[in-house]
Amino acid sequence: MEYTSKLNEYAAVPSSPEIKKIVSDAEAGAKANCNADVYKLCYSCIDLTSLNTTDNDRQIREFTEKTVAFNERFPDIPNVASICVYPNFVETVGLAAGDSGIRITSVAGGFPSSQTFLEVKMLETAMAVESGADEIDIVINVGHMLEGEYEELANEVEILRREAGEDTVFKVIIESGALQTPELIYRASVLSMLAGADFVKTSTGKIPVAATPEAAATMCTAIRDYHASTGRKVGFKAAGGVRTPEDAALYYTIVENILGSDWLTPALFRIGASSAANNIISGIAGEEIKYY
């Protein structure tokens, strides 16, 4: 596919003032969405994440077992969408999760920088799926994006999409905090979708600027335009910096306002979170809860 020519078919990129207006409207509307029902939906959309230098098999096994046991203590709250780990822990999660139905997300493709050989990215992606990952989160080559090397960027995403396989949910992180401008965030999102992304995701959480409402609004606008052009629904994932139930409600509202209620399901909306889980549970319960 000639990605650059396809990219030029899309609508004008929203300006910074337009994005600020979208976010302002969402902030006003989010107040009504700060309630237990919305928080429960947001909790069910969490990719519960452990991506630490200190991770080990024992810790990941216990983390998984606690997630599997969640509904024993909170039967009225739907469990998280998945557990997200480094690829070497996918099998550990699978063994601990058993037949619980908990999905396994693995980062891959040279996460978090995407700075390694393409062959290494391909092998890591394929091995994560072979180990049992249901979902793969990769990062675009941000350097390609900043240099305007759109064909190189999209072709690499397309190759990793094939390595993951069509039965694997494939999420592409655009690292919006490194791109900064609405134009680059919009273009990176469209290129990722054209190359086969099932979700576009804001951030790795490994650089100073992670998810922002402005980036979310820009990305959701790109998803809306792509859907209007192709008829294919692509999901949105906010990750990095989503810490409170109010944060979650704001991203929920941005998705609701731009994409509509069809997107408010774990199939099309995700939140990458670790510390946010306890805070959202607390928001639902109306008291401080420290489950994790």
Which candidate in 47, 198, 201, 225 is catalytic?
A: 201
Distance CA 38, CA 108 (A): 31
Neighbours of 3 (CB within 10 A): 19
By CB neighbour count within 10 A (0-12 exposed, 13-18 middle, 19+ buried), where does 172 fall?
Answer: buried
Best CA proximity match to 41, nearest among 285, 265, 193, 255:
265
d(Cα 116, Cα 283) in Å, to the nearest integer? 41
Look at the chain and count its residues: 292
Give yes or no for a contact between 257 and 22, defined as CB atoms under 8 angstroms apart. yes
Q: Which two tokens stand for residue 226?
A: 């792509």
3-state secondary structure of 274: coil
Reduced to 3 states, what is the DSSP secondary structure of residue 287? coil
Residue 66 is among the residues annotated as catalytic for this protein: no
* Structure tokens given for 52: 């630490």
Query: Cα–Cα distance between 214 and 63 in angstroms, integer?
Result: 32
Active site residue 201: yes
> Which of 137, 198, 225, 247 does the annotation list as catalytic?
137
How is residue 5 written in tokens?
Answer: 């020519």
Neighbouring C-beta atoms of residue 27, cutoff 10 Å: 14
Catalytic residue check, 171: no
- Tokens coding 119: 């062959």
Task: Cite the active site residues.
Answer: 137, 201, 237
